[in-house]
């Protein structure tokens, strides 16, 4: 369907009226000089009627669409809709486009709010579930002690030790949530320094050596690193990132398997890869892997310990550095996490 603008409508009407007046003038003209006068007068008549009709149409349309723009502009818009009222001429096609754009934005906003509501419900449910287990454990231990276990030296020390572990788990969850909140709000900003990422990775290998030894896994570089690789980042936070990724690789890797860390030069960035040859992650789970408390294998994840917030913290730390992190995985073959760091100048 063709869409006509107010200019086109005014042009057509003015042209028809001018032709009509011109034809009447021809029939009433008697001399050649009058014909020339008629042509000039018709031209002036055309211009006057064009601008007059355009003005009337523009005012009529503006009055009709003003309530629409009041609704549209009630919601902040970044597009052209908020500025359209400043134009001298109002085009129907542009108004239609603005309304469609606004309607589409509202649909997207509703979908976004629905997703946020779903995420909020899942998050509250996950927090409740994660805290419920240690709370119930502590409650059970204390009740046992109060009902006579306190007098038994073998039981009281054992149950107090278990209560302490449950409390430590609760503290870890709260601290991790606090860290994520600070990273999201920008309160926790990276403290940049220049350091050798190779040496830092070796420090992480030392930290996770005992866990790797328990599972008889090797921690190694993808290729031998003879020279330091200097990066600019928050060293403490990057150690946290590497520690989380290496720990995950150990926990979900195959026994007697390998965890490898590789470094690759990419223009002004250094690409860091942490890979394992473990159980892998299903494709349907990959988009949600960085969500808080999201666990691919819930039963095994809880057996392995942890708060379920590690990868979420990792993602927030990398994004706080204005860098990117990605994950690739194949079931029963392994998983590779890749993130970038700024190369030291």
The span from the CA of 85 to the CA of 69, in Å, is 8
Cβ-count burial 253-283 (b if 16+ within 10 Å, e if not): beeebbbbbbbeeeeebbbbbbbbbbbbbee
Taking CA atoms, 289 is separated from 58, 132, 139, 309, 329, in Å, by 54, 23, 32, 10, 11
pLDDT at residue 300, as a whole number:
47
Measured in degrees and rounded to the nearest 5, phi and psi for residue 332 equal 65, 10
pLDDT score at 83: 47
pLDDT score at 322: 92
Is residue 282 within 8 A of residue 151, CB to CB? The reply is no
Q: How many helices (H) and strands (E) does the chain have?
A: 9, 7
Q: Do residues 247 and 208 make contact, with C-beta atoms less than 8 angstroms apart? A: yes
What integer pLDDT is reported at residue 135 of this predicted model?
87
Q: What is the pLDDT of residue 53?
A: 81
247 close to 309: Cβ distance less than 8 angstroms: no
Segments of the chain scoring below 50 in pLDDT = 1-2, 75-88, 299-303
pTM recorded for the entire structure: 0.59
How far apart, in whole angstroms, are the C-alpha atoms of residue 28 and residue 152? 126
Helix H or strand E encompassing 320: helix 310-320
For the segment 243-289, what is each residue's pLDDT rounded down to a tens digit?
999 998 998 888 888 999 999 998 899 999 999 988 888 888 888 88
Give the model confidence (pLDDT) of 108-156 as tens digits: 888 877 876 776 676 676 677 677 878 888 888 888 888 887 788 878 8
């Amino acid at each position: 369907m063709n869409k006509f603008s107010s200019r086109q409508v005014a042009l057509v009407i003015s042209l028809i009226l001018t032709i009509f007046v011109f034809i009447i003038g021809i029939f009433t003209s008697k001399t050649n000089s009058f014909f020339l006068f008629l042509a000039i007068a018709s031209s002036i008549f055309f211009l006057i009627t064009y601008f007059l009709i355009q003005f009337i149409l523009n005012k009529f349309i503006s009055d009709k669409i003003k309530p629409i723009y009041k609704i549209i502009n009630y919601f902040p818009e970044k597009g052209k809709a908020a500025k359209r009222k400043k134009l001298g001429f109002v085009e129907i096609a542009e108004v239609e486009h603005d309304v469609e754009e606004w309607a589409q934005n509202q649909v997207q906003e509703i979908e976004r709010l629905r997703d946020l509501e779903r995420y909020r419900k899942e998050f509250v449910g996950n927090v409740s579930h994660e805290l419920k287990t240690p709370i119930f454990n502590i409650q059970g231990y204390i009740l046992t002690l109060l009902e006579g276990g306190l007098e038994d030296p073998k039981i009281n020390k054992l149950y107090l030790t278990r209560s302490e572990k449950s409390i430590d788990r609760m503290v870890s969850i709260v601290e991790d949530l606090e860290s994520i909140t600070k990273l999201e709000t920008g309160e926790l900003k990276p403290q940049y320094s220049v350091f050798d990422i190779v040496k830092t990775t070796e420090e992480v290998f030392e930290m996770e050596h005992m866990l790797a030894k328990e599972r008889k896994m090797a921690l190694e570089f993808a290729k031998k690193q003879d020279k330091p690789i200097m990066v600019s980042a928050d060293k403490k936070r990057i150690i946290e990132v590497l520690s989380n990724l290496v720990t995950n690789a150990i926990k979900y890797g195959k026994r007697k398997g390998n965890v490898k860390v590789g470094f690759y030069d990419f223009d002004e960035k250094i690409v860091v890869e942490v890979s394992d040859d473990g159980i892998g992650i299903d494709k349907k789970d990959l988009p949600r892997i960085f969500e808080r408390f999201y666990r691919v294998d819930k039963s095994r994840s809880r057996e392995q310990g942890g708060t379920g917030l590690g990868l979420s913290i990792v993602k927030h730390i990398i994004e706080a550095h204005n860098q990117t992190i990605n994950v690739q995985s194949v079931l029963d073959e392994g998983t590779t996490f890749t993130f970038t760091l700024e190369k030291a100048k």
